[in-house]
């Protein structure tokens, strides 16, 4: 494996024999074992971690969960410290190289990739430093699973959790982090108390609601455009130990949407989402999945009052809260076992305003057969605009809207994948025509003009923040916003 790892204090002492310490392998590197700098890089500063350019590391960083876009970097930094991130961003700035953080690489359309630049693999910075009522202080490569593993023994958890726990903190904070509690608490980006970030200028800055608020608001949901997040303090709230989970059937989409809106406004449940359920005769019905967290005697009648689910469809299970958070682990394990976890995933993720949801979702479903999804789910989450506070997280203008996810698993067939991506684009166009927006984790080809339309009246603010925090435009080209990327 090609690697470069040096510590400055060794330089003058024993540079001839030992040139550094590999913190991952926990061994000293001798000059005989050291490989040359990655092609295209020279005078890289001494690092605590590793700078890799072996084919396997480059290939891994050139791919993501979508497996439809590949852009190869010239090097992958596995930082051994925050200082390494500062040094590499400054190095990239001075050498006009593009650079992007990569969390778990679970975005689907090249968002974490860099063509001929440097990828920072944040998974080596994943320490959970502190968990208490004031929040969880974590390095940004930590996965949300690590946070809840540390916080649940104290009866605490982040207010909003994604369905999948093995996403990095940095990855979801650059996008949004939406889950079944977002109708109450906002997205994960709305539940951050403080950040340490490295701007595109190479400045390590602390920001919060009161300190550098422009940077704070820009970075959260900022698609990696302004800074690389290195540490975050995440809000925690007390949680109750038991989740009572209701699954309620709906054959009629309009009725489901009315009930989703009702529970989004009255907030009777802690968690709400809906999933399309393929019907034996073809087409889809729906299941509303709603959870209530409890420590004592539940009042189910009050929870279900006024909801118009199909008679006899109601199911109820009660499991520990921790098990509820990890509920999709068995599904993912089954996909891994079936060998489809590494298939292409041309996902479609859209926000649809309430007033158009019935018409839009019905027409989209008419084009999607269960077979065409490859076993992937179609999901709906009710969301409220007033709960979302970050300017670059673009959502519909109406107070109530829905995240509409079509989580396709495609066969390893380029023709099928391209057709599904074209379908995503067509569905996006129709969503935009009714005031919808995209959630930028998915797979939709996007032009510069599309990005301008996406940010709308905030586009000018985006350019101002970009000029202030990443003036050389080196950060996160994989989003494609400023013209170079897959979009």
Ligand X SMILES: Cc1cc2nc3c(=O)[nH]c(=O)nc-3n(C[C@H](O)[C@H](O)[C@H](O)COP(=O)(O)OP(=O)(O)OC[C@H]3O[C@@H](n4cnc5c(N)ncnc54)[C@H](O)[C@@H]3O)c2cc1C
Residue 112 interacts with ligand X (CB under 6 A)?
Answer: yes
Supply the DSSP symbol for 374: T
Supply the DSSP symbol for 209: S
Shortest Å distance, C-beta 470 to ligand X = 11
User: Which of 366, 385, 368 is CA-nearest to residue 377?
Assistant: 368
Shortest Å distance, C-beta 110 to ligand X = 9
Give strand pairing partners of 18: 30
Measured from the CB atom, the residue of 309 and 439 that comes closer to ligand X is 439
H-run or E-run covering 22: strand 18-22
User: Which of 137, 180, 135, 185 is CA-nearest to residue 162?
Assistant: 180
Contact 171, 193 (CB under 8 A): no
Q: Which two tokens stand for residue 235?
A: 């809000």
Q: Which of 50, 57, 98, 104 binds ligand X (CB under 6 A)?
A: 104
Shortest Å distance, C-beta 486 to ligand X = 11
Shortest Å distance, C-beta 28 to ligand X = 29
Residues 390-449 that bind ligand X (CB under 6 A): 441
Cβ neighbours, 10 Å, residue 399: 15
The stretch near ligand X (CB under 6 A) out of 31-39, 87-95, 172-180, 244-252 is 172-180
Residue with tokens 């959790």: 161
The stretch near ligand X (CB under 6 A) out of 11-19, 53-61, 175-183, 360-368 is 175-183
Residues 126-145 that bind ligand X (CB under 6 A): 140
Binding marks (x or -) toward ligand X, 462..481, rule CB under 6 A? --------------x-xx--
Residue 179 interacts with ligand X (CB under 6 A)?
Answer: yes
Rounded Cα gap, residues 450 and 429, in angstroms = 10
Residue 454 interacts with ligand X (CB under 6 A)?
Answer: no
Rounded Cα gap, residues 166 and 326, in angstroms = 10
Residue 167 interacts with ligand X (CB under 6 A)?
Answer: yes
Measured from the CB atom, the residue of 309 and 347 that comes closer to ligand X is 347
The stretch near ligand X (CB under 6 A) out of 53-61, 105-113, 283-291, 426-434 is 105-113
Q: Which of 107, 217, 423, 424 binds ligand X (CB under 6 A)?
A: 107
Cβ neighbours, 10 Å, residue 115: 17
Shortest Å distance, C-beta 230 to ligand X = 7
Q: Which of 49, 186, 224, 486 binds ligand X (CB under 6 A)?
A: 224
The stretch near ligand X (CB under 6 A) out of 26-34, 51-59, 160-168, 460-468 is 160-168
Q: Which of 68, 71, 111, 124 binds ligand X (CB under 6 A)?
A: 111
Q: Which of 68, 122, 124, 424 binds ligand X (CB under 6 A)?
A: 122
SS3 352: strand
Rounded Cα gap, residues 287 and 133, in angstroms = 35
Q: Which of 172, 191, 218, 423 binds ligand X (CB under 6 A)?
A: 172
Q: What is the Cα gyration radius of the chain? A: 23
User: Which of 473, 475, 476 is CA-nearest to residue 463?
Assistant: 473
* DSSP track, 255-321: HHHHHHHHHHHH--SSEEEEEEEE-TTSSEEEEEEEEEEESS---HHHHHTT--PPTT--EEEEEEH
Tell how many helices (H) and how many strands (E) occur in the chain: 15, 22
Task: With CB under 6 A as the rule, give the number of residues binding ligand X.
Answer: 36
Residue 160 interacts with ligand X (CB under 6 A)?
Answer: no
Chain contacts with ligand X (rule: CB under 6 A): 64-65, 100-107, 111-112, 122, 140, 162-164, 167-168, 170-172, 174-179, 223-224, 228-229, 441, 476, 478-479
């Amino acid at each position: 494996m090609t690697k470069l790892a040096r510590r400055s204090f060794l330089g003058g002492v024993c540079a001839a024999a030992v040139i550094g310490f590999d913190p991952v392998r926990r061994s000293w590197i001798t000059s005989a074992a050291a490989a040359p700098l990655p092609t295209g890089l020279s005078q890289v500063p001494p690092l605590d971690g590793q700078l890799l350019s072996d084919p396997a590391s480059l290939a891994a960083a050139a791919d993501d969960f979508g497996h439809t876009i590949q852009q190869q970097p010239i090097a992958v930094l596995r930082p051994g410290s925050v200082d390494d991130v500062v040094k590499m961003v400054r190095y990239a700035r001075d050498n006009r190289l593009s650079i992007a953080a990569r969390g778990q690489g679970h975005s689907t359309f090249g968002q974490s990739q860099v063509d001929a630049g440097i990828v920072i693999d944040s998974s080596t910075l994943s320490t959970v430093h502190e968990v208490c009522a004031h929040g969880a202080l974590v390095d940004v490569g930590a996965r949300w699973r690590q946070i809840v593993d540390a916080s649940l023994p104290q009866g605490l958890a982040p207010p909003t959790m994604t369905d999948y726990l093995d996403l990095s903190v940095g990855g979801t904070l650059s996008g949004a982090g939406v889950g079944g509690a977002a109708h109450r608490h906002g997205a994960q980006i709305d539940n951050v108390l403080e950040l340490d970030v490295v701007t595109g200028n190479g400045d390590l800055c602390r920001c919060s609601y009161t300190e550098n608020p422009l940077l704070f608001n820009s970075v959260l949901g900022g698609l990696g455009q302004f800074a690389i997040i290195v540490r975050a303090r995440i809000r925690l709230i007390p949680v109750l130990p038991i989740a009572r989970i209701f699954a309620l059937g709906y054959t009629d989409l309009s009725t489901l949407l009315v009930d989703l809106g009702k529970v989004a406004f009255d907030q009777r449940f802690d968690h709400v989402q809906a999933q399309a359920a393929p019907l034996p005769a073809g087409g889809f019905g729906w299941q509303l999945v709603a959870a209530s967290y409890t420590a004592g005697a539940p009042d189910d009648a009050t929870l279900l009052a006024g909801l118009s689910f199909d008679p006899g469809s109601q199911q109820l299970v009660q499991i520990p809260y921790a098990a509820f958070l990890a509920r999709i682990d068995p599904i993912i394990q089954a996909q891994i076992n079936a060998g489809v976890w590494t298939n292409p995933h041309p996902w479609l993720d859209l926000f649809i305003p309430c007033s158009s949801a019935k018409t839009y979702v019905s027409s989209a479903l008419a084009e999607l057969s269960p077979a065409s999804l490859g076993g992937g789910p179609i999901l709906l989450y009710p969301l409220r605009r007033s709960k979302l506070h970050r300017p670059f997280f673009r959502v519909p203008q109406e107070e109530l809207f829905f995240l509409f996810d079509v989580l396709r698993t495609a066969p390893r067939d380029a023709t099928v994948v391209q057709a599904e991506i074209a379908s995503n684009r067509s569905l996006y166009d129709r969503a935009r025509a009714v005031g919808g927006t995209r959630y930028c984790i998915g797979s939709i080809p996007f032009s510069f003009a599309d990005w301008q339309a996406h940010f709308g009246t905030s586009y000018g603010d985006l350019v101002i923040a970009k000029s202030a925090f990443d003036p050389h435009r080196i950060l996160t080209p994989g989003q494609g916003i400023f013209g170079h990327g897959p979009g």
